[in-house]
Amino acid sequence: MKKNAILLVTTLFISAFWFKNTPLLSCAEKTKRQYLLFCREFTNAAKQLQQSVITSDKKGMQQHFLTARLAYKKAEPVIEYFFPFYAVKLNGPPIIFFEESEADIPENIPGGMQVIEGMLFPAVTKTDTAVLNFEISELVRYAAELETATTSSFAFTDETIFEALMEALYRVAALGVTGFDSQTAQNSIAECNAVLEGIQKYIACCKEKFTVMPAGSYEQLQHNLLTAINYLAAAKSFNSFNRMEFLVQHLNPITAQIAQCKKSNHLTDSKAGLYYSSIKKDNTLFEPGIFNTQKFIDDYTTSAQKIALGRMLFFEKKLSADNSRSCASCHQPNKAFTDGLPTSLALNGHSSLPRNAPTIWNAALQRNLFADSRSRNLEEQVMQVLNSTAEMHGSAQQAAEKIIGTKEYRLLYEKAYPDATAADAAQNICNAIACYERTLIALNSRFDKHMNGNTQLTANEINGFNIFMGKAKCGTCHFMPLFGGAKPPRYYYTESEVIGVPANSNKKNAVLDKDSGRYNYTGYKIHLFSFKTPSVRNAAVTAPYMHNGVYKTLEAVVDFYNKGGGQGLSIAPQNQSLPFEKLQLTAKEKKDLVLFIKSLTDTAAAY
């Protein structure tokens, strides 16, 4: 008995010593283990899908596909952030696409689950078995590689884990609820559920991070996650899902809580080029100031003196060769910085320029500028306009020298650019105007106030938002909250699309507009008739619409999309990227959709 007691004491002592000297796993290490479990679940589901194809089990194919994608969605927060190559291979676009971050590659061949989904939904048809087998075998191969890609030397950090979770929440809000990557199966609501289930597990791995927050913060977050998961699980259908209620009452509080934990632990966003982002990732998508208006300033700087000079220059007609036109001639403040014309007038006053003048509101948040995306910063955009024969009929350098030579501007210029040389004049003038334009931020519409908890929208406008983000598929190209082509979750690059815009409003004898769009700049066939996706913010006050101003009303624009874009007019180019299917919107749905777009109006900011 005494011997057993001694043995027990010895065992307890050794155990205590062992646990005392065994380091506890960190948040990042536990998250990595959880992620690998999700990867194995996904790999097994992909193999089961492959087996169902081998046995020609049509019903099984669909079910196993849905199971596989739900498993993928749990792992998605980590895959999208750390392994973008695999994200594209496993769940990339279902059509030939251009990747803004890899501009030297003309076309990317589609593959992965979205391609497979199109073969299996809405029904398994007589598809090319060889192609289906190949796509699924590739899916299994890449799924299996996910685990080996995360080697023992691959280090997750607490900073990157929380940044990845924030991006995942933005992705759910702006892409997930729209059906962005589940357009035929329409299983995106269940997939959003799977993402939150994954986040719930990842957060459990980082419970200790909540010790620096008020007592009960972790438990409250887990409760909110569970409530949101249950809300999604109760959804009856994709079209009827109340996205507004889900975002305001469920997802926004969760996003704010995780962001607060991130800030409380002093976890910063990565500064690596791979993770460049124009959003700060420290609050909800709708928090005032969430976007970095200086992100695309590149090698330039800003200052109060530059902004003041730029504001004057924006309205200065001496910028044109004949002193008759300023920037404000085509971008008039009282017309939301547009000119109200289908296409702007040339400097000669009687001929027309080829394209519609876009609003400058929120131009600072666009990486790609001009309708053909040929410019990557506002300074370059201003320079091109000043050098344009048709627009200003002069040179930027001559205009700058003329401006600086006047008594009115000389002192202001010297204060803004004290160390400038004569050779810097043109670039500095462009920089000053760009610095002013970066102050033109309009993200405080009634919609924004509503999303921040201040009820502003009517029932019809809320219904219009749900249609915009759901049945009408507007949100799959006009990404919330900027409602343009700046793609979530980093909002760094702005996408362009081919929608088949007609040359005139004649529906019976429609003709495709001849403007080749972005093709003129890149020479890539994929960009023939492609134009940057503009924001629909302030659309109510920036008519007419499209790059050629062909449509005078929002109702006409909605009708164009409702009928399938160029396809509905029988003028679609072969590379139309807009889905061909008609939206089947009712008269009330179209009316509510327009009402929602009007709720995005905000021109009250100081200029």
- pLDDT tens digits, 132-176: 999 999 999 999 999 888 876 667 899 999 999 999 999 999 999
For residue 72, which of 126, 112, 132, 127 has the smallest C-alpha distance? 112
For residue 145, which of 35, 37, 39, 66 has the smallest C-alpha distance? 39
Mean pLDDT value across residues 99-109: 90
Tokens standing for 309?
Answer: 């000079």
More confident residue, 393 or 564: 564
Exposure on the CB side of residue 250, measured as CA atoms within 13 A = 22
In the chain, CATH 1.20.1420.20 sits at: 27-275
For residue 477, which of 534, 527, 525 has the smallest C-alpha distance? 534
Whether 49 contacts 68, CB under 8 Å:
yes
For residue 494, which of 377, 593, 328 has the smallest C-alpha distance? 377
Rounded to whole angstroms, how far apart are CA atoms 199 and 201? Answer: 5
Eight-state DSSP code of residue 532: E
Residues 6+ apart with CB under 8 A from 528: 498, 516, 517, 519, 573, 575
Tokens standing for 431?
Answer: 């920089």
pLDDT at 18 over 70: no
- pLDDT tens digits, 218-227: 999 999 999 9
Rounded to whole angstroms, how far apart are CA atoms 161 and 159? Answer: 6
- pLDDT tens digits, 291-339: 999 999 988 899 999 999 999 999 999 999 999 999 999 999 999 999 9
Predicted pLDDT at 22 = 44
* CATH number of the 456-598 domain: 1.10.760.10
Residues 6+ apart with CB under 8 A from 115: 94, 135
Q: Average the pLDDT over each of 292-301, 408-417, 515-524, 550-559 and give the range with the smallest value.
A: 292-301
For residue 424, which of 453, 441, 400, 395 has the smallest C-alpha distance? 400
Eight-state DSSP code of residue 329: H
% of the chain residues with pLDDT over 70: 95
Provide the sign of the torsion angle of the four alpha carbons 517, 521, 525, 531, taken in this order.
negative
pLDDT band at 102 (very low <50, low <70, confident <90, very high): confident
State the pTM of this model. 0.93
For residue 341, which of 323, 353, 328 has the smallest C-alpha distance? 353
Select 27-275's CATH number: 3.40.50.850, 3.30.70.260, 1.20.1420.20, 3.40.50.1000: 1.20.1420.20
In the chain, CATH 1.10.760.10 sits at: 295-437, 456-598
Tokens standing for 234?
Answer: 């109760």
Residues 6+ apart with CB under 8 A from 521: 372, 373, 374, 527
Mapping DSSP onto H, E and C, the string for 481-538 reads CCCECECCCCCCCECEECCCCECCCCCCCCCECCCCECHHHHCCHHHCCEEECCCCCC
Predicted pLDDT at 127 = 67
Rounded to whole angstroms, how far apart are CA atoms 579 and 93? Answer: 12
* CATH number of the 295-437 domain: 1.10.760.10
